[in-house]
Amino acid sequence: MEGHSAAGKPQPGTGKLPWRWLLLIVAGSLAVQLLASANVKLLPDYDEAIYWDVSHNCHERGLFIRSQNQGHLFFDHPPLFLYLASPSFFFTDDIAGFRFVVSLMSLALLVATALLASRHLGADAAVPAAALLGFNPMFVFYANSGYQDVPFMLPTMLAFLAAFEGRAIACGLLTGAAFLVKYFAAGFAGALALYQAAAPERGPRQAARHLAVFGSLALLWPVTGLWLDSAGFLGKIGYWKTFLTMESTTAIKHHPVAEMGPYVKSIVDRLTLPHTLLLLLAIAWALTNLRKFDWPMRTVTLTAVAYIATLLGPFALRSERYMVEALPLLAILGAGLLRGLTRQARAAALALVSVAGLFIPMPGASRLPPLVRPQYTATVLKYAEDVRLAAQEVARALPPGERVLVNWNGPRIGYLARRPYSVLFTREDFESAAKLVDDARILVRDHESGRWFLPELAPDQIERLERKLAAEFTFADFGKVRVYTRRSASGVGRS
């Protein structure tokens, strides 16, 4: 029984790493990512289109600027990933190129996850860990999406490797780099610092060195933000404060008890139920064997459990996407469970590849039962073709560089039309909404309801706005989407 003591305790770092199997898993995961993307991702997600826009401006203008309103620095997230993705625009400005950068990072993440499993569970855990992650439906989807989650987990998992090998400075550089991709890194850095302080083979000095380097890199973000635009940066901090404390009248309100069922269902739908059950069993197995684990595996287990508990906590931001950050750690635990059930390396690899086949996403394959078919359509607009045709009209009628006013999907329309944009639904009073309309040459009403989405305006104010549009604009309908063109401007439409 290679890699086990007589007592059955995993022995880290034993056996030769099965690189041939790993390369097959990596190639298979990439193929599934590209197939899924080609079949179902007709439009970028709302936030994904924003990140594409900011990364495009990193390439064109050297700064992380969002092309909304008159253009402004983007302080929602640190911009390291957006800069790393910007070379894709040398080859294409299509979002497929932007997503492909994330796909490449996901392949490196698969290898890092396999290495971590190999070194602390044994070499025959590497393939199960890579397969559980690489063919996970949620991972496949976000590994070919323009979001920060997968790019963030690459330096984070490398930081776990560095910490467990006693390289505190490297660990700090990696957690610092992860922070410059996503704020979540602070929590993972804290978990690794606790490991370094508590593990007998490490010590508080390693934790201190790690945190010193991490803090130095993390400080680059607020220092840069305050230097470039102190008012904008402080304003964004204020926004997040009101959002998280639910003090703002315009911030999204969360009702934790009422939302918990739909939120958990959204995670299960994206993971698929069989995979969810396997990961739950893996957590149970890891907690049962916690005392038998070495300090690194204890850290992996407790970090995964603490992170998931945070996601399900009463103040968690309700997005199933944040589950992606837990998947590499859960894949390692799942590999440990399956390795325990199938002790021989070759048998474990074959069994895992077979099991992983159940989770390979096949969008549009109606013969698959719902439990193993991921819910890709949740992020694809039902009226995608309407939006696409409307954006083509905007691009035809509006000169390059001129701004389009969009009721709802500003980032999507902006991406498809390749035009800067302003968003109407965020206006908090009639006067500010009317001012935007006065300045607009083209306006797009694009909410899925086929009506205006202006939650801050009263019905009589929306009627006033419609009368104003009827007097000053013509319009053309594209399914549920309506494009208004100012009468003094050229464009196809009718009164």
pLDDT at 373 over 90: no
Given pLDDT bands bounded at 50, 70 and 90, which one contains residue 386?
confident
| The predicted structure's pLDDT at residue 286 | 94
Q: Are 444 and 493 in contact (CB under 8 A)?
A: no
In sequence order, what are the residues at sequence separation of 6 or more whose Cβ sits closer than 8 angstroms to the Cβ of residue 67? 53, 57, 414, 420, 421
Q: At 186, phi and psi to the nearest 5?
A: -60, -40
Which residues form the domain of 288?
19-376
304 and 388 assigned to the same domain: no
Distance from C-alpha of 125 to C-alpha of 118, rounded to nearest angstrom: 6
Distance from C-alpha of 281 to C-alpha of 285, rounded to nearest angstrom: 6
Q: Which residues pair with 102 in a beta bridge?
A: none
Residue ending a domain, among 356, 376, 396, is 376
Q: At 76, phi and psi to the nearest 5?
A: -65, -40
> In this structure, is residue 9 part of a structural domain?
no
Lowest mean pLDDT across 175-189, 310-324, 449-463 = 310-324
Residue ending a domain, among 330, 359, 376, is 376
pLDDT at 368 over 50: no
Query: Could you report the per-residue pLDDT of 49-93, keeping only the tens digit for each?
Result: 999 999 999 999 999 999 887 778 999 999 999 999 999 999 999
State mean pLDDT over 41-46: 74
| The predicted structure's pLDDT at residue 448 | 81
Given pLDDT bands bounded at 50, 70 and 90, which one contains residue 150?
very high
pLDDT at 495 over 60: no
- Say how many domains are in the chain: 2
Residue ending a domain, among 320, 347, 376, is 376
Given pLDDT bands bounded at 50, 70 and 90, which one contains residue 371?
very low
> In this structure, is residue 320 part of a structural domain?
yes
Q: Are 64 and 58 in contact (CB under 8 A)?
A: yes
311 and 268 assigned to the same domain: yes
Name all contacts of 136-139 with Cβ < 8 Å and 24+ positions apart.
136/271, 136/275, 136/327, 136/331, 136/359, 137/270, 137/271, 137/272, 137/275, 137/359, 137/361, 137/374, 138/267, 138/270, 138/271, 138/320, 138/323, 138/324, 138/327, 138/374, 139/106, 139/324, 139/327
Given pLDDT bands bounded at 50, 70 and 90, which one contains residue 378?
very low
276 and 388 assigned to the same domain: no
Question: Higher model confidence: residue 382 or residue 57?
Answer: 57
Q: At 476, phi and psi to the nearest 5?
A: -135, 135
> In this structure, is residue 228 part of a structural domain?
yes
Query: Hey, what are 397's tokens?
Result: 């009628």
Lowest mean pLDDT across 103-112, 299-308, 360-369, 452-461 = 360-369
| The predicted structure's pLDDT at residue 5 | 39
> Which of 355, 352, 359 is CA-nearest to residue 373?
359
Q: Residue 270: CA atoms inside 13 Å, Cβ hemisphere, count?
A: 19
> In this structure, is residue 164 part of a structural domain?
yes
How many residues are there in the chain? 495
pLDDT at 457 over 50: yes
Which amino acid is present at 370? P
Q: Which residues pair with 475 in a beta bridge?
A: 484, 494
Q: Are 481 and 388 in contact (CB under 8 A)?
A: no
Distance from C-alpha of 335 to C-alpha of 126, rounded to nearest angstrom: 8
Lowest mean pLDDT across 87-91, 183-187, 291-295, 372-376 = 372-376
358 and 439 assigned to the same domain: no
pLDDT at 251 over 50: no
Which amino acid is present at 323? M
Tell me 117's DSSP state: H
Query: Hey, what are 254's tokens?
Result: 């969360």
pLDDT at 116 over 90: yes
